[in-house]
Amino acid sequence: MKCSKATDYALHALLFMIKSNGDSKRIPVQDLAAALKVSTTYLSKILTRLVKAGIISANSGAKGGYQLKNGWQDVSIYEIIVTIDGKQSLLEDSFSHGKGCSIKQIMDEAERSLINNLEQKKLKDLA
């Protein structure tokens, strides 16, 4: 599992929303982009993935913006990472030197531990 810059922006956008009064306030993409120092176009693409995953909602119009959906507190950090980057391994195939490679087994165990940790950490833990 590798985390991209897009995941970094997604997590920080969610943190900004949480600190800006949780699920009760709509925040325009321009405000989020300014806070994160990223283009609105790029951030909009990232936020669209979060909308499709049901983590945030989007409203257009003069009073539009993005806001956290009910239940946001229980969304895991791992879910955000997978939503933005998909499921990827930390490891390259080069770690495996045949069946039963002890190095690959250790690295796989470390990755499982990391994933389990990120599944336990929820958005509410960022607040």
Domains along the chain with CATH numbers: 5-126 (1.10.10.10)
- Whole-number pLDDT of residue 21: 76
**Alpha carbon distance 22, 112 (integer Å):** 31
DSSP string, 22-43: GGG--B-HHHHHHHHT--HHHH
Q: Which two tokens stand for residue 71?
A: 């239940």
pLDDT exceeds 70 at position 126: yes
Q: Is the pLDDT of residue 74 over 70?
A: yes
pLDDT at 54 over 80: yes
> Which residues sit opposite 38 in a β-bridge?
none
Give, in order, the Cα–Cα distances in Å from 24 to each of 15, 21, 34, 56, 69.
14, 6, 20, 12, 9
Task: Write the pLDDT tens digit of every residue in 76-110.
Answer: 999 999 999 998 776 666 666 677 788 878 888 98
Task: Give the ranges where 1-127 is alpha helix by DSSP (H).
Answer: 5-19, 29-36, 40-52, 77-85, 102-120
End-to-end CA gap in the chain: 24
Token pair 């003069």 is found at: 62
Task: Give the span between the Cα atoms of 103 and 97, in whole angstroms.
Answer: 9
